[in-house]
Amino acid sequence: MNMTTSIRQKVTKVGTVLTDMVMPNIAAFIACGLLAAVCAPHGWWPNAEIYRVVSLSQAYLIPMLLAFTGGSNVGGHRGGVVAAITAMGVIATAQSAAILGAMIAGPLAGWAVNTVDDWLRPHVKQGFEMLVNNFSAGILGILLALVSYYGLAPVVDAGANLLASGVASLICWHLLPLANLIIEPAKVLFLNNALNHGILTPLGTQAADQVGRSILFLVETNPGPGLGILLAFHYFGHGHSQKSAGNAAIIEFFGGIHEIYFPYVLSQPALILAASAGGVTGTFTFSTLGAGLTSVASPGSIISILLLTPQGIGNFLAVLAGVGLAAVVSFGVASVVLLRSHQPQSEVNATQHIQHAIRKIIITGTQGIGTPQMAVAILQAKLKPLNDITVSVVAEPISALTPDQNALFIAREDLVSMVHDQVPGEIRILGVTNYLKSPVYDQVLAMLQAQNQAK
């Protein structure tokens, strides 16, 4: 395996870990985004008291949900609890990047729980397991919260401030379109609010006070790049991502919840190029045509953007041109990325390609992602009534896979390309959207029964 492939796999693993934290909690982002669209100071029906729900949710609820999910993905429910405690250290002190800090703290806390459990388990007497588990989790949570408070949060804030300084410098140098080369990757890491409200909004407000509008209100809130990426998934994606992308595009474009497209980018890190290209194109178009808003559009819905566009047909056309061209460019780049990364999915017909007898089924994944081990138990239970079929079912990490003509590999759809990179050549691999519940397992049974009858 060459260095480029190894780096790509590691980046993909990180992206998948982040995706697995975000996707189960998308409803929370949608709820906050919709409520903000209605009750924010510049919303449809401003209400400061109700808007406090949004502020508190963004400050506490969303980071806690992400941390708990990340911890539970790695260390089970106790890992999630410890991760939530750990996240409080980040939330209590992080100035602008609590969400990113929580997403880092979650998986690390889950890993720490597993490590401590492996060390304690041989020393715990029978009957004391619950007591030791609870106390060890509580003490570990406190220690990790302190580490987060004094260590992780300052580092994450420093990174966010460095990005913000880079954006501010590009603005001062009159290279505003290039700011999207920083903003779009930072958005995917949930630093969008830090950059928008920390840098762009204050500077934009100063400009709007003088001339009545500012292009800075459009730089981060432009829904075009996200729309293009989601449409590319709708037409050229596969599996669950393709099925869900259409609805996600509507929510992102009209609801302004940009967070909904971040997991799609994280699942294919090369799509950051699409987001950046769309962002640069949009901002360049806004700058060329003199587009701007009278105030910050929060959330970044096309509806709220048009409501804050200065009167005049030319102003509306300039804004729509920037959003539209950003969507077209991001769609084009994202389509190329998706088509190049597409691998044949054997979920279409699992009974084909049985030139070699199947002797082993390997359910694979990356550490802390999904539950291949539980999938093994599920598939073994399905095979148990079939006494005449003797096939071993095991779970192995992708990094440990080796070529085996008599093996059938099962992996999550977004990890199939990694399996092909790890095990090049002709292999049989099935993609599933959910390790714990998939029609693929019934197809596997049909394949094995057909193989058995052909003997």
What is the residue-level pLDDT of the chain in tens, covering all 455 positions?
455 555 656 666 676 677 778 878 888 888 887 787 778 776 678 888 988 998 899 889 999 999 999 998 888 889 999 999 999 999 998 766 788 889 899 999 999 998 998 898 888 887 888 888 899 999 999 999 999 999 999 998 888 888 778 888 888 888 889 999 999 998 888 777 777 766 788 788 878 878 888 999 999 999 999 999 999 999 998 766 788 889 889 989 998 888 889 888 987 888 999 999 999 999 999 999 999 998 888 778 898 899 889 989 999 999 999 999 999 999 999 999 998 876 444 433 433 444 457 888 999 887 544 578 888 888 888 888 877 777 888 888 887 788 777 788 998 887 887 787 777 766 788 888 878 778 888 888 888 877 776 65
Q: Which residues pair with 394 in a beta bridge?
A: 362
218 is a domain residue: no
52 is a domain residue: yes
Q: Which residues pair with 407 in a beta bridge?
A: 360
Distance CA 445, CA 455 (A): 16
147 is a domain residue: yes
Angle at 176 between CA 99 and CA 304, to 5 degrees: 60
Distance CA 44, CA 231 (A): 27
Amino acid occupying residue 132: V
154 is a domain residue: yes
State residue 317's pLDDT score. 97
* This prediction's pTM: 0.67
Instruction: Please say which residue of 115, 140, 172 terminates a domain.
Output: 172
269 is a domain residue: no
First to last CA, the chain: 37
238 is a domain residue: no
Tokens 């409501």 belong to 307
302 is a domain residue: no
SS3 call for 275: helix
Taking Cα atoms as reference points, which of 154, 29, 455, 7 lies closest to residue 37? Answer: 29
Instruction: Please say which residue of 107, 140, 172 terminates a domain.
Output: 172
Distance CA 427, CA 419 (A): 10
Which domain CATH number covers 429? Answer: 3.40.50.2300
Domain holding 402, by residue range, is 360-453
Cα distances from 420 to residues 338, 393, 399, 424, in angstroms, run 16, 20, 11, 5
334 is a domain residue: no
Q: What's the number of domains the chain is made of?
A: 2
Angle, helices 26-39/62-93, rounded to nearest 10 degrees: 80
Cα distances from 325 to residues 216, 231, 329, 330, 407, in angstroms, run 18, 14, 6, 8, 47
Instruction: Please say which residue of 172, 197, 224 terminates a domain.
Output: 172
Tokens 């995917």 belong to 188
